[in-house]
A and B are shown apart, each in its own frame.
Chain A
Amino acid sequence: MTNPPRRIISSGRAPRATSRRSALRGALAAVGGLSLAGCDRLSQNTEFVDVLKSAQDLSHAAHRLVAGRQAMAQEFAPADVAAHFKANGTLVPADAEYHALMQGGFKDWRLQIGGLVEQPAQFSLAELRAMPSRTQITRHDCVEGWSSIGQWKGVQLGHVLGLVRPKAEAKFVVFRCADSMESPAAGRDSTYYESVDLDDAYHVQTVLAYELNGQPLPVNNGAPLRVRIERQLGYKHAKYLMKIELVDSFASIRAGQGGYWEDNGYEWYAGI
């Protein structure tokens, strides 16, 4: 196949360079516009989004491989603690039940633990405070992109699980919270919830925290008790804990994705 010279010099002018250029510009704009609209349409396509979301499993498996199941999150020095630890999400739950507990200084609050356990139990704040504690200075990373360093004190979740003895078929720990995320007008259960696997549940740094920076946990940060899942993003660290449930699957809970934000499209594995 022969290819004619691109430009004929003797003609004395560049052949239709301008129209070529504008055609190219038009084509690029069209391709750009189409692909942008295409990306927005693909974002609405369930099958396509499932393909995109498959990267989550790959990331989780790869992270488990390189960062081991028991790898520790970085801990910091007291000097690194942020002057003001940022609070996000619900700042004061509007729910009446929570307000009643808060008015009473959480004296009537009990953490219920049930589901697939040999010995369901409930613990008051004083009982939890009497258990062995762990204090850690860690960095809280929000899915939005910011970080805050704070000092947490609480009882390791693994210790509490040892008291209730999970059954062999238990695979996930579900955290049920007091705060509704949507207005009661929506007419459906929108209380916050989260779940983690047993790797994270029994991790050394997974604590049920009742203190932040040496003070009782403020309401803005989840009083009276929040969980710290130090190797995952902030939305896994459920605040205003009411109940802990061991399950073999979270598929039948709400939209079945394992958490309030997960039901709204966020990844269940939030280690990235």
Chain B
Amino acid sequence: MDTSAIPRPAAAATRPAPAAQRVYRHRLPVRVMHWINVVCLTILLMSGLTIFNAHPALYWGRDSNFADPWIAITTAPGPNGPTGVTRIAGRQFASDGVLGRSRVGDAAAPTARAFPSWATIPGPQWLSMGRHWHFFFAWLFVLNGIAYVLYAIFSGHLRRDLLPTRDELRHIGRSLWDHLLFRHPTGEAAKRYNVLQNIAYLTVIFGLLPLVIVAGMAMSPRLDAVWPGWVDLLGGRQSARTLHFLAATGLLLFVLVHLFEVLISGVWNQLRSMITGYYTVPAAARRALRNERQRP
């Protein structure tokens, strides 16, 4: 039986309360795979934007209806020459300086390009190099993801940490409310993922990530030949390109919320726990005391 499931109090925790209790929260494989994900996802998102920039428009269907992309990031004539614009579903938004036209590095004049150079790898528009970065790290990301899912299943991480209990699901409303008030779990509850985390992680691991990978594969003409027509299940190759972009946007949103949560819930404690594995459990008593002091 897997005994490491029980949070192990660290040496320091043998001191009397309310001194911080430390628990071993993230095991080594999870920590290593987490940081591989950080590197891969950053590079994939940014090199993906380089690839998008080569044809900054998205369509729905089997091929490209050039007259009617549902999103296009381009330039339009303005009173002082071309200006950056973003068109979504027929509506045009001014986005000069960031989307459609922006300065590359220290250049004096802006360049027509969809996403700005600070968001792309490499910085200057260079499609072939963006592809090399993207496909190398796509392999690493997928292999790491497969390793993680296998680990999660066979180590019990999935059942123990990722799947919410029936009780947690019943009190999801309460958990949501606490979250919106920035009340973070303390004591025993802080030792495990809360139910919102469970749902977010499961959505990413078994929803967004498979979608981004399958939609990415659907853009490969050779993989389309595995079973001619399978790409139509996603609506066709251009729909797959759209889904790949939307799923990547979803992953970016997840990362932003994840970073925000880390920042407001004790950033050093959280960072250390993902590096060394040890997490200092916020004591309920101390939290209550502080809340009292803050009351006017």
A5-B19, A231-B221, A271-B222 known; A142+B55 contact, CB < 8 A: yes
Partner-binding segment picked from B124-132, B146-154, B166-174: B124-132
Binds B, one of A50-58, A94-102, A216-224: A50-58
- By the criterion CB–CB under 8 Å, are A3 and B12 in contact? yes
CA distance A68 to B18 in the complex (A): 64
- For A37, the closest partner residue in chain B by CB is B123
16 pairs from A and B in contact (CB 8 Å cutoff):
A2-B11, A3-B12, A6-B20, A39-B43, A39-B133, A52-B132, A52-B133, A54-B136, A56-B135, A71-B226, A74-B224, A86-B64, A143-B131, A145-B54, A147-B237, A232-B222
| Contact yes or no, A63 B289, CB < 8 A | no
B277-296 with Cβ < 8 A to chain A: 280, 286, 289-290, 293
Are B55 and A146 touching (Cβ within 8 A)? yes
Provide the residues of chain A in CB contact with B215, threshold 8 Å: none
CB distance from A55 to the nearest CB of B (A): 4
Q: Which residue from B55, B238, B267 sits with its C-beta under 8 Å from A24?
A: B267
**How big is the A interface, by class?**
35 or more
A-B contacts at CB below 8 angstroms, number: 162
Closest-CB distance, A175 to chain B (whole angstroms):
18
B contact residues around A265 at 8 Å (CB): 128-129, 132
Interface mask (B80-113 → A, CB under 8 Å = 1, otherwise 0): 0000000000000000000000000000000000
Binds B, one of A75-83, A164-172, A187-195, A244-252: A75-83
CB distance from A28 to the nearest CB of B (A): 10
- Chain A neighbourhood of B55, CB < 8 A: 142, 144-146
A253 within 8 A of B: no
CB neighbours of B128 from chain A (8 A): 261, 264-267
Q: Does B229 contact A (CB under 8 A)?
A: yes
Fill in one digit per residue for A1-18: 1 if any B CB lies within 8 Å of its CB, else 0: 111111001001000000
The answer to whether the Cβ of A148 comes within 8 Å of any Cβ in the partner chain is yes
Q: Mark A160-202, 1 if CB is under 8 A from B, else 0.
A: 0000000000000000000000000000000000000000000
Q: Does A34 contact B (CB under 8 A)?
A: no
Seen from chain B, the residues whose Cβ lies within 8 Å of a Cβ on chain A are 10-12, 15, 18-20, 22, 42-43, 46, 51-52, 54-55, 57, 59, 62-64, 66, 118, 121-124, 126-129, 131-133, 135-136, 138-139, 219-226, 228-229, 231, 237-238, 241, 266-269, 280, 286, 289-290, 293
Contact pick for B122, options A40, A55, A233, CB 8 Å: A40
Contact yes or no, A3 B228, CB < 8 A: no
In the complex, what's the smallest C-beta–C-beta distance from A226 to chain B, in angstroms?
Answer: 16
Determine whether A155 belongs to the interface, using a CB cutoff of 8 Å to chain B: no
Chain A residues 137-162 with CB under 8 Å of chain B are 139, 141-149
- B12 x A144 contact (CB < 8 A): no
Most buried by B among A12, A59, A261: A59
For A30-54 the 0/1 string (1 means CB < 8 A from B) is 0000011001100100000101111
Contact of A272 among B18, B20, B135, B286 (CB under 8 A): B135
- For A126, the chain B residues whose CB sits under 8 A away are none
The answer to whether residues A144 and B127 also contact, given A59-B135, A149-B63 and a CB cut-off of 8 A, is: yes
- Per CB-CB distance, the 4 closest pairs between chain A and chain B, nearest first, are A271-B222, A265-B128, A145-B55, A71-B225
**B64 A80 Cβ-Cβ under 8 A:** no
**B57, B63, B121, B231: residue with the most chain A Cβ atoms closer than 10 Å:** B63
A230 within 8 A of B: yes
Q: How far is the CA of A20 from the CA of B266 in the complex (A)?
A: 12
Find out whether the CB atom of B63 lies under 8 angstroms from the CB atom of A147. yes
Contact indicator B66/A146 (Cβ below 8 Å) = yes
Q: Is A130 an interface residue (CB 8 A)?
A: no
Given A39-B122, A272-B222: A147 in contact with B136 (beta carbons within 8 A): no
Choice from A24, A40, A74 contacting B123 with Cβ under 8 Å: A40
Residues of A within 8 A of B66 (CB): 84, 86, 146
B226 to A139, Cβ gap below 8 A?
no
Contact, CB under 8 Å: B224 / A55? no
- Contact yes or no, A72 B136, CB < 8 A: no
B136 and A51 within 8 A (CB): yes
Q: Which residues of B contact A231 (CB under 8 A)?
A: 221-222, 224-225
Given contact pairs A39-B121, A63-B223, A1 touches B11 in the complex (Cβ within 8 A): yes
Question: Is the Cβ of A55 less than 8 Å from the Cβ of B237?
Answer: no
